[in-house]
């Protein structure tokens, strides 16, 4: 079942965040430190209070989160050059290692899409590392396409 996250989900989301970090650390060890995470349990509790954040979880039969999607509302101001729009930025989608390739990610993304449509957003956006081939393939399967490319040149 997919539902909005609740404070009781914070410890489990925190554990899943560690899994996401390990994927990033494997793909970009030059940028991410293994054994860390993006948001602490306390941070997750604060995100749940943020009016610009929506956090969905898919739960198992015990109501334990097996995946989540953290999204933020972003407004792009119309400034005469840029067309104003409302974007729903997916900060993170994670599916527990044991539940991957079972449709959890697809269902979470479908819920995010439905929410974005219901709430009147113009776009859904996200970032993904080019070396994270599994995530790239998943997002392309979900219908996302590249908007821009950020290039880098490493000095050291």
| CATH code: domain of residue 52 | 3.40.630.30
pLDDT in tens, 100-136: 999 999 999 999 999 999 999 999 999 999 999 999 9
**Domain interval for residue 127:** 2-141
Is 33 within the bounds of a domain? yes
b/e per residue, 74-109, with b = 16+ CB within 10 A? eeeeeeeeeeeeebbbbebbbbbeeebeeebbebbb
Is 148 within the bounds of a domain? no
Number of domains in the chain: 1
Residue 83: pLDDT over 90: yes
pLDDT value of residue 156:
84
Is 149 within the bounds of a domain? no
**Average pLDDT of the chain, as a whole number:** 95
What is the distance between the terminal CA atoms of the chain, rounded to a whole angstrom? 47
Is 38 within the bounds of a domain? yes
- The first and second tokens of residue 121, run together, are 């957003």
Report the alpha-carbon distance of residue 28 to residue 12 in Å, rounded: 24
Give strand pairing partners of 58.
2, 67
Give strand pairing partners of 76.
85
Is 153 within the bounds of a domain? no
Look up the pTM and report it. Answer: 0.92
Is 78 within the bounds of a domain? yes
């Amino acid at each position: 079942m997919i539902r909005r996250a609740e404070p009781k989900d914070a410890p489990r989301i925190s554990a899943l965040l560690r899994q996401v970090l390990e994927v990033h650390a494997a793909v970009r060890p030059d940028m991410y430190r293994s054994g860390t995470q993006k948001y602490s349990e306390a941070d997750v509790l604060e995100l749940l209070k943020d009016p610009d954040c929506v956090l969905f979880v898919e739960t198992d039969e015990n109501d334990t989160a097996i995946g989540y999607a953290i999204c933020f509302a972003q407004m792009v101001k119309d400034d005469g050059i840029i067309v104003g729009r409302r974007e729903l930025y997916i900060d993170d989608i994670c599916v527990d290692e044991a539940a991957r390739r079972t449709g959890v990610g697809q269902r979470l993304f479908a819920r995010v899409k439905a929410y974005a449509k219901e709430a009147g957003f113009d776009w859904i956006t996200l970032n993904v590392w080019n070396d994270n081939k599994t995530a790239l393939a998943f997002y392309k399967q979900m219908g996302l396409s590249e908007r821009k490319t950020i290039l880098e040149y490493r000095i050291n």
